[in-house]
């Protein structure tokens, strides 16, 4: 099936393109971008007037819960949520059951995604066996099996010597290490950000320095070993500052944040709302401002969701025992478009952070509309207003603090490999 996407505002940071044009897709690849392209016989036409046509969005931090925890989400429901949110590629974290610490699990995910999924899925393997923090996993084999990075996400690698060796070893193999930066001793029994809100609610706090110290340690290890490092879900002003300074020194560090960290503060926890419980926790206004500044000045390279589905029973409980995490695939794009509306990012910079940069950092051949590229595209309607209704989400889980929020902008059509993977009717 060939496609002609007419009259959209085509935005492709990979080639500095931002112009109203047509995009012709043939045999699953981008054939041509130009004015007044003509459709030949058998070409389906999509009218993108008033819409953005961008390289398919890439979410480099997702928990698909498959294998092992399919009651929360699985590869089918997760990728369906992804395309509904405008994502053509997902990078899934290894804290499945069993964990992605061997070729078999990685292959299972890749095969199931290829046969039943709605978008591309690139798995992340473990840094250590079973995420146990004791022995390095077989990173070479994981890479051969198709993993695009290694991470023990959900847990930090507590042992600094092991983290050092993992960075060195991964550099040799050519696989990226993604750090979940958290000092567990400082987290203690904390369940939300430590600050005035935790004081008033009487909830145990997680201090910012639990993240800052771990970020600093891993950045220093990356610098010492001259290895690339990516810091996941940055949430504090301290982490932003540490990463900014490291980048200025030439350390090969990149990072991501998530929409909730530039949208919400820990005030969202008031009322003991477990849908505002996540790790790292929602921080304070100063942190939100620092995250936005980090996005603006390029310190923060990517916007990922940290999509973390949980069953209702794991959230509809007392705050202390509730599971950490929120879903994010279907709210990420509108929350991020708000950054453009607020003048923090240009639309080009936003697309860079949601497609081009994650592709580049992970070394996957996505995030570009250059002729000959895989035709993964997202058509975005930037002006449509809608309300988040948890009943209509494609994800299996409903754990979002944005239920009932009024949003502006969303994916109108998601095209994967030249075929329409999601049309919004």
203 vs 393 by CB, closer to other proteins: 203
Nearer to Zn ion, 11 or 163 (CB): 163
Does position 277 bind Zn ion by CB under 5 A? no
Distance, in Å, from the CA atom of 151 to the CA atom of 138, rounded to the nearest integer, reads: 12
Q: Which stretch binds Zn ion (CB under 5 A): 15-23, 177-185, 253-261, 366-374?
A: 177-185
| Cα–Cα distance for residue pair 395/244, rounded to 1 Å | 35
x/- letters, 142..161, toward Zn ion (CB under 5 A): -----------x--------
Nearer to Zn ion, 153 or 376 (CB): 153
* Residue 283: CB atoms within 10 Å: 24
Contact 78, 307 (CB under 8 A): yes
Q: How far does Cα 233 stand from its chain's mean position?
A: 9
What's the closest the beta carbon of residue 277 comes to other proteins, in angstroms? 11
Omega of the bond leading into 125 within 30 degrees of 0 (cis): no
Q: Which two tokens stand for residue 254?
A: 């990149």
Catalytic residue, from 101, 266, 306, 376: name it: 306
Residue 201 interacts, among other proteins, Zn ion, none and using kind-specific CB cut-offs from 5 to 8 Å, with: other proteins
> What minimum distance in Å lies between the beta carbon of 156 and Zn ion?
9
**Which does residue 198 touch among other proteins, Zn ion, none (CB within 5 to 8 A, set by kind)?**
other proteins
Residue 44 CB, shortest distance to Zn ion, in Å, is 40
Mark residues 228-257: x for contact with Zn ion by CB under 5 A, - for none: ----x-------------------------
Shortest separation between residue 165's beta carbon and other proteins, angstroms: 30
**Other CB atoms within 10 A of residue 69 CB:** 17
Among 63, 80, 180, 366, binds Zn ion (CB under 5 A): 180
CB of 272 to other proteins, least distance (A): 3
Q: Decide whether 161 or 318 has the Cβ nearer to other proteins.
A: 318
What residues does 26 pair with on adjacent strands? 29
C-alpha span between 195 and 204 (Å, rounded)? 10
Catalytic residue check, 306: yes
Peptide bond into 92 cis (omega under 30): no
CA–CA separation, 13 and 124 (whole Å)? 26
By CB atoms closer than 10 A (0-12, 13-18, 19+), residue 321 is exposed
Residue 171 exposure: Cα atoms within 13 Å on the Cβ side:
17
Nearer to other proteins, 138 or 267 (CB): 267
Catalytic residues: 306
Q: Which residues bind Zn ion (CB under 5 A)?
A: 153, 180, 232
């Amino acid at each position: 099936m060939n496609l002609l996407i007419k009259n959209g505002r085509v935005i492709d940071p990979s080639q500095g393109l931002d112009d109203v044009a047509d995009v012709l897709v043939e045999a699953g690849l981008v054939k041509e971008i130009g004015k007044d392209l003509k459709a030949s016989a058998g070409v389906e036409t999509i009218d993108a007037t008033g819409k953005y046509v961008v390289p398919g969005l890439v979410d480099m931090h997702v928990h698909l819960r498959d294998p092992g925890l399919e009651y929360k989400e699985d590869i089918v429901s997760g990728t369906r949520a992804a395309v509904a949110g405008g994502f053509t590629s997902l990078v899934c974290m290894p804290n499945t059951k069993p964990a992605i610490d061997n070729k078999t699990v990685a292959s299972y995910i890749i095969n199931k995604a290829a046969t039943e999924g709605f978008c591309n899925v690139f798995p992340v393997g473990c840094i250590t066996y079973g995420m146990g923090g004791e022995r390095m996993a077989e990173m070479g084999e994981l890479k051969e099996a198709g993993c695009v990075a290694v991470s023990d996400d959900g847990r930090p690698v507590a042992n600094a010597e092991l983290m050092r060796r993992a960075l060195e070893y991964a550099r040799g193999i050519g696989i990226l290490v993604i750090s979940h930066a958290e000092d567990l001793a400082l987290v203690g029994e904390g369940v939300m950000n430590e600050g005035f809100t935790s004081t008033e609610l009487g909830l145990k706090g997680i201090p910012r320095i639990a993240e800052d110290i771990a970020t600093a340690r891993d950045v220093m290890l990356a610098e010492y070993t001259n290895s690339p490092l990516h810091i996941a879900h940055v949430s504090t002003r301290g982490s932003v500052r540490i990463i900014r300074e490291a980048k200025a020194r030439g350390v090969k560090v990149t990072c991501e944040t998530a929409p909730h960290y530039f949208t919400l503060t820990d005030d969202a926890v008031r009322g003991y709302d477990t849908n505002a419980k996540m790790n790292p926790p929602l921080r304070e206004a100063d942190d939100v401002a620092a995250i936005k500044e980090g996005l603006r000045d390029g310190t923060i390279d990517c916007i990922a969701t940290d999509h973390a589905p949980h069953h209702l029973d794991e959230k509809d409980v007392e705050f202390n025992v509730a599971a950490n995490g929120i879903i994010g695939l279907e709210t990420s794009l509108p929350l991020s478009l708000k950054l453009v509306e607020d003048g923090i990012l240009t639309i080009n910079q936003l697309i860079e952070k949601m497609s081009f940069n994650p592709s580049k950092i992970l070394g996957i051949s996505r995030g570009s509309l250059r002729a000959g590229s895989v035709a993964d595209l997202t058509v975005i309607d930037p002006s449509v207003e809608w309300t988040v209704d948890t009943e209509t989400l494609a994800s299996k889980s409903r754990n979002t603090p944005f239920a009932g929020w009024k949003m502006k902008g969303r994916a109108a059509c998601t095209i994967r490999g030249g075929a329409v993977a999601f049309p919004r009717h």
